[in-house]
Amino acid sequence: MLSRRLFIAAALIAGLGPVTSVCAQQTVTVALDWTPNTNHVGLYVAQAKGFYAEAGLDVQILPYTDTAAGTLIANRVADFGILGSIGLFTQRTAGADLVATYAIMQTETGRLVFNADRADIQTPRDLDGLTYGGFGSAWENALIGTIIRHDGGEGKFETVTLGTSAYEALANGAVDFTLEVYTWEGIKAELDGKAQRAFRYSDFGVPDQHTNFIGSSRAYLEKNKDTATAFIAATRRGYAFAVEHPQEAADILIAANSDVLTDRPLIEASLKALIDGHYLQSPAGAIGAIDPAKMEAIGNYLFKAGALRDGDGNPVGERPDFAAYYSNAYLDGEK
C-alpha cells in the first residue's frame, strides 16, 4: 500500500514539470503535511515576494496527498517537507532518513479541550473515566495519561477514534474532551461562538516542544548544502515578513490557495494568534531556530513513555542520539 501511495505521489509531482527552469534555477520540492493553512504562510510569502527567486531557487510546493511528508522525504520523492514533532521523532527512530532544519513553531500549539459548560471538569484528574475523541496515535495516550496523572488522577479514560470528526463530536457532547491545535481549531471555535476551556500540555508534566518543522533527509542535505542553506534562509525571510506584515501575508496565502482557503476571517484570526502568541517568533525574537533543550526534553519524554519504536515496531531499548534528529546549520548559513 505504501509503495502504491508513493507511486501516486511521485506521479502527481512529475506533472508539475521539469526539474530545472529556463532560468537555470535550482528546483526544490516541498511536501505539505496537510491542506494549505497558516502554518505554511512563510512558504507562500517567500514564493510570492520573490525571495526564492532571488536565492536562485524554483520552489515547488507539492499538492497535498495522504502520504506523510516524512515518508515522501525519506523516499526521495520530496526534497523538504512539513514534519510534525512527534512524526519526526517516531519516524526517525524507526529508521527514516529525516532531519529537522527549521522550527516553524517556537512553542506548542496543541491543547486538551472540552466544552466550557462542563462544571464537572475543573482539573485534569476530572478526566478519569471520561470519553476522549481521538485520532489513533500512541502519542495521544501517553500525553493524556501524563496530564491526568500529573494532577493526581489515575490516567484512565475511554477512547473513541474519530479523526477530525472529534471536533463536531465534542461540540455535540458525544465525547467529553479532545485535542486540538489552538491556532486553527481553537480559533475556529472562538469565531463560531463555541465556548471552550483547555489544559495546556506543558502545565501538566509534558515538555514544551516545537509543534512542527521544515525538514529534509540527511542524504539530500549532504549533497545539496548550498541549495538547502539558500532555501532555509529564503523561507525564514518569508515567515519573518508574515510576522511583520500579517495582512499582506494573509492575502498572499489566500490568493495562492483560493480553492481551499475560503474562510478569510479564520485565516486572518489564525495568523494573528500565531503572531500574538509568539508561535512563529519567540519573545526573544527567534524565528526558525530549533532549541536543543526542547528537542532533548521531548525526545526523553517519548523514549521513557515507550513511544519510540524501531523498524520492527518494538520499543527501543537505548535512548537515541536526539542531536542527530535536527540541525540549525542551514538556518545559520553554515556548511
DSSP states of 166-177 as a string?
HHHHHHHTSSSE
Instruction: Give the count of beta carbons closer than 10 Å to the beta carbon of residue 323.
Output: 11
Instruction: Give the count of beta carbons closer than 10 Å to the beta carbon of residue 293.
Output: 9
User: Is 70 exceeded by the pLDDT of residue 172?
Assistant: yes
CA gap 104, 238 in Å, rounded: 11
Q: What is the pLDDT of residues 256-309, one digit of tens each?
A: 999 999 999 999 999 999 999 999 999 999 999 999 999 999 999 999 999 999
Q: What residues pair up with 29 in beta bridges, in sequence order?
A: 60
Residue 8: partners with Cβ closer than 8 Å, 6 or more residues away: 65, 67
What pTM was estimated for this model as a whole?
0.91
Q: How large is the average pLDDT for residues 156-184?
A: 97
Percent with pLDDT over 70 in the chain: 92
Torsion of CA 193, 199, 202, 208, to 10 degrees: -30
Q: Is 323 helix (H, G, I), strand (E, B) or coil?
A: helix
User: Is 70 exceeded by the pLDDT of residue 173?
Assistant: yes
CA gap 306, 98 in Å, rounded: 20
Strands (E), 18-166: 26-31, 57-61, 80-84, 99-103, 110-115, 131-134, 158-161
Q: What is the pLDDT of residues 67-93, one digit of tens each?
A: 999 999 999 999 999 999 999 999 999
Q: What is the pLDDT confidence band of residue 7, given thresholds at 50, 70 and 90? A: very low
How far is residue 266 from each of residues 192, 254, 325, measured CA to CA in Å?
10, 11, 33
Q: Which CATH superfamily is domain 26-107+210-324 in?
A: Periplasmic binding protein-like II (3.40.190.10)
What are the residue ranges of CATH 3.40.190.10 in the chain? 26-107+210-324, 110-203
Looking at domain 110-203, which CATH architecture does it have?
3-Layer(aba) Sandwich (3.40)
Q: What residues pair up with 57 in beta bridges, in sequence order?
A: 26
Question: What is the reported pLDDT for 39?
Answer: 98
User: Is 50 exceeded by the pLDDT of residue 51?
Assistant: yes
